[in-house]
Structure 1
Amino acid sequence: MPSFLQIYRSPLILAFIVLLLAAFEPVTGQWLRFDRAAMADGEWWRFFTAHLVHLSWGHALGNLGGLALFAYITGRYCSQLPMLLFFLFSCLFVSLSLFLFAPDLYFYVGLSGVLHGLLLLGGIRSPFYANGLKVLFVVIIVAKVIWEQSPFYDDLAMVGYIGGRVETRAHLFGSISAFLWLAAGYLKHYFAEVKAHG
């Protein structure tokens, strides 16, 4: 029977990296954050590392709480290769989308955008819950993201806790990354079926 560390190794490693980087702020943030000018000058690693650094301990711990929820709902699947590949895809997709479609954004840090994608994908793919519960989970997250894009959401409400404004567009792009991943998986399966029966 797999041990706790074997089952949750990927979220635990990610949490360790986030905490380690938080301990050396602000230096780590300056080198790893989403920095539009630096990225335009070729510092490509920031497209991935921006999601590992945070504004404050409160910001980091809040996102690690979301990571724990992801690990809980996916169980042993959270450390399997498809989830790891999606994590990298979502990091790149969120950063690239912010770079291309949020020209007013010069700096960004945090795991929350990718986390929205992980929670959506994990909730849909989890083998542990009934379809009705999965649908409810997805509806709640999608409704939250839509609300965040509306004028009724105050993106400064969490300033006192996380140390800055909530970048709701990252949540939107993270959610889109999950649906794109799911669509790609469906199309791959569909064409494999067509080929098998062709």
Structure 2
Amino acid sequence: MSFLLQIRTLWRGYSLYLLMMTAVVLLALAEPLSGQWLRFDRMALVDGQWWRLLSASWVHLSWQHALGNMAGIALFAYIAGPSLNSWRGLLLLSWCVAVVGCGLYWFATDLYGYAGLSGALHGLLLVAPFVSPFYSRRIAWLFFVVIVAKVIWEQTSWYNDMALADVIGGRVETRSHLLGTLAGMFFLLQIYWRRLLRLAPAD
């Protein structure tokens, strides 16, 4: 009975993250069909397959690529805990996925193919320590600086986006990381803006 209680408690606190991992695993098992229908494909998008803007984040180039992003989901779950296992967490996830997909379509016009959750994960990991009760603001801002510094470095000529090609099966699309980080920043901005409005004195 205690085991079932533990499972129930785990589900209540971490169901969103478990569902994210399940989606990644199931779609990886469904390759190559899942990739053919769900990856970011500019020509298919031009033909009207707009779901790819959202679904591209859930398919991956290889099992190594998928496992790397599952590790990112686990880190997100560890940092955020139950605090983002909610409608707000689902909203944050949807927002980051949408910004990455739409941003790549509109601003990375030279990009014809993309797959992976790492872009959205940058936004999720940026927000997580700020909403988690387990971390001080100093730690949250340190995490913020590390992620932003990493993304800035990735946009320079010093970063080799082909360094992991043999491992994950393709080039690292650093612009997705930039878009995910910007999505996370915007989400944080609206959180703090709403807090300021609540603290503002009424007329």
Structure 1-normalised TM-score? 0.94
For the pair 1:166 / 2:169, whether they are aligned, the reply is no
**Residue of structure 1 in register with 2:97 after alignment:** 91
Q: Is the 8 A contact 1:18 1:52 kept in 2?
A: yes
3-state SS of 1:8 partner: helix
Q: Distance in 1 between matches of 2:84 and 2:46?
A: 33
Alignment of 1:56-67 (within 5 A): 56-67=62-73
Q: Is the 8 A contact 1:124 1:138 kept in 2?
A: no
Structure 2 residue corresponding to 1:135, chosen from 138, 141, 147 = 141
**Residue of structure 1 in register with 2:129 after alignment:** 123
| Aligned-residue offset at 1:163 | 0.4
**Residue of structure 1 in register with 2:157 after alignment:** 151
For the pair 1:12 / 2:18, whether they are aligned, the reply is yes
Alignment of 1:34-113 (within 5 A): 34-113=40-119
3-state SS of 2:57 partner: coil
Q: Is the 8 A contact 1:55 1:109 kept in 2?
A: yes
| Aligned-residue offset at 1:188 | 3.2
3-state SS of 2:103 partner: helix
- CA-to-aligned-CA distance 1:155-175 (integer Å, 9 cap, x gap): 000011100000000000000
Single out whichever of 88-97 and 125-134 deviates more from structure 2.
125-134
3-state SS of 1:3 partner: helix
**Identity, % of aligned positions:** 47
**Residue of structure 2 in register with 1:187 after alignment:** 193
Q: Distance in 1 between matches of 2:53 and 2:198?
A: 32
Q: Is the 8 A contact 1:7 1:75 kept in 2?
A: yes
For the pair 1:33 / 2:33, whether they are aligned, the reply is no
Q: Distance in 1 between matches of 2:164 and 2:26?
A: 23
**Residue of structure 1 in register with 2:202 after alignment:** 197
Q: Distance in 2 between matches of 1:134 and 1:189?
A: 17
Paired residues, number: 197
Single out whichever of 171-180 and 3-12 deviates more from structure 2.
3-12
In structure 2, what residue type is equivalent to 1:137? F
| Aligned-residue offset at 1:130 | 1.6
Single out whichever of 74-83 and 157-166 deviates more from structure 2.
74-83
Q: Distance in 2 between matches of 1:102 and 1:126?
A: 33
Q: Is the 8 A contact 1:11 1:78 kept in 2?
A: no
| Aligned-residue offset at 1:95 | 0.8
